Amino acid sequence: MANSFDVIIIGAGPGGLAAGIYASRSKLNTLVIEKGVIGGQAATTEEMENYPGFYQGVTGPQLTEHMHKHAEHFGCHFVKDEVVDLELAGYEKAVITKKDRYTAKAVIVATGAEPRFLGVKGEKELKGKGVSYCATCDADFYEDLDVVVVGNGDAAIEEAIYLTRFAAKVTIIVIHDEGVLDATKVIQERAFKNEKIEFVWNSVLEEIKGDGIVEAVAVKNLKTGKVADLETNGVFIFVGTVPRTELVKGKVELDQRGYIPASELTETSVDGVYAVGDVRQKYLRQVVTAAADGAIAAVAAEKYMHEEENFKNEVLDKTRAVAVMFWSPFHQASLEMVPLVEEFAGQHSEKLDMVKIDTYRNQRIARRYDVQEMPSVLLFKGGEVVGRVTGQLTREKLEELAILG
User: Among residues 288, 311, 334, which one ends one of the domains?
Assistant: 311
Q: Identify which of 173, 170, 160 has the alpha carbon closest to the alpha carbon of residue 220.
A: 173
- Phi-psi region for residue 343, left (φ > 0), alpha (ψ -120 to 50) or beta? alpha
Q: Map 169-238 to HEC letters.
A: EEEEECCCCCCCCCCCHHHHHHHHHCCCEEEECCEEEEEEECCCCCCEEEEEECCCCCEEEEECCEEEEC
| pLDDT band at residue 392 under the 50/70/90 scheme | confident
pLDDT in the model for residue 360: 86
Candidates 146, 162, 150, 11; CA nearest to 79 is: 11
Query: Quick one: average pLDDT of 113-123?
Result: 93
Give me the domain span that covers residue 193.
131-237
Residue 47's pLDDT is 77
On whether residue 120 sits in a domain, the answer given is no
Please check whether residue 366 is in contact with residue 359, taking contact to mean a CB–CB distance below 8 angstroms: yes
Which helix (H) or strand (E) element contains residue 241? strand 241-243
- Report the alpha-carbon distance of residue 267 to residue 270 in Å, rounded: 8
Q: Are residues 188 and 100 in the same domain?
A: no
The SS3 assignment for 28 reads coil
Q: What is the arithmetic mean of pLDDT over 357-371?
A: 90
Confidence (pLDDT) at 288 = 95
E strands, 306-383, in order: 321-327, 352-358, 376-381
Residues 395 and 360 in one domain: yes
Task: Looking at the structure, tell me whether residues 182 and 246 fall in a common domain.
Answer: no
Q: What radius of gyration, in Å, describes the C-alpha atoms of the chain?
A: 28
Same domain for 212 and 160?
yes
Residue 401: phi and psi, rounded to 5, are: -65, -40
The Cα–Cα gap between 30 and 24 comes to 6
Within 8 A by CB and 6+ apart from 322, the residues are 314, 315, 352, 353, 354, 355, 379, 380, 381
Q: Do 144 and 167 contact (CB within 8 A), yes or no?
A: yes
What total number of domains does the chain contain?
A: 3
CA angle 33, 35, 40 (to 5 degrees): 90
What residues act catalytically? Answer: 134, 137-138
Decide if 125 is inside a domain.
no
| Gap between the Cα atoms of 334 and 377, Å rounded | 10
Helix axes 287-311, 60-73, angle to 10 degrees: 20
Write the CATH number for 213: 3.50.50.60
Whether the predicted pLDDT of 231 surpasses 90:
yes
pLDDT range class, residue 13, cuts 50, 70, 90: very high
* Mean pLDDT in residue range 259-279: 96
**What does each C-alpha distance from 33 to 98, 245, 260, 383 come to in angstroms?**
11, 15, 19, 34
The 3-class SS string of 89-140 reads CCCCEEEEECCCEEEEEEEEECCCEEECCCCCECCCCCECCCEECCHHHHHH
Q: Please report which confidence band the pLDDT of residue 11 belongs to, taking 50, 70 and 90 as the band edges.
A: very high
- Domain assignment present for 126: no
* Residue 48 domain flag: yes
% residues pLDDT > 70 (the chain): 99
Q: Is residue 153 part of a domain?
A: yes
Tell me, what's the pLDDT at 18? 98
Collapsing DSSP to helix, strand or coil, 357 comes out as strand
Same domain, 328 and 287: no
367 shares a domain with 336: yes
Q: At 350, which CATH number?
A: 3.40.30.10
The Cα–Cα gap between 111 and 278 comes to 8
Is there a single domain that holds both residue 221 and residue 139? yes
For residues 31-47, give the mean pLDDT.
89
Domain annotation covers residue 250: yes
> Can you tell me the distance from the alpha carbon of 151 to that of 183, in angstroms, rounded to the nearest whole number?
10
The answer to whether residue 121 sits within a structural domain is: no
**Residue 285 — pLDDT band, cuts 50, 70, 90?**
confident
Contact 269/283 with Cβ under 8 angstroms? no
- Of 208, 237, 266, the last residue of a domain is 237
Q: 246 and 220, same structural domain?
A: no
Residues 164-189: tens digit of each pLDDT: 999 999 999 999 999 999 999 999 99
Q: What band does 405 get if pLDDT is binned at 50, 70 and 90?
A: low
What pTM was estimated for this model as a whole?
A: 0.84
Indicate if the pLDDT at residue 1 is higher than 80. Answer: no
Q: Are residues 371 and 299 in the same domain?
A: no
Q: What is the pLDDT of residue 296?
A: 98
Q: Say whether both 208 and 350 belong to one domain.
A: no
In a domain, 124, yes or no: no
Residues 9 and 107 reside in one and the same domain: yes
213 and 140 assigned to the same domain: yes
Distance (Å, whole) CA 128 – CA 210: 13
How confident is the model at residue 295, as a pLDDT? 98
Average pLDDT across the chain, whole number: 94
First to last CA, the chain: 44
Domain final residue pick, 283, 311, 339: 311
pLDDT of residue 69: 98
Q: What is the pLDDT of residues 50-77, one digit of tens each?
A: 899 998 889 889 999 999 999 999 999 9
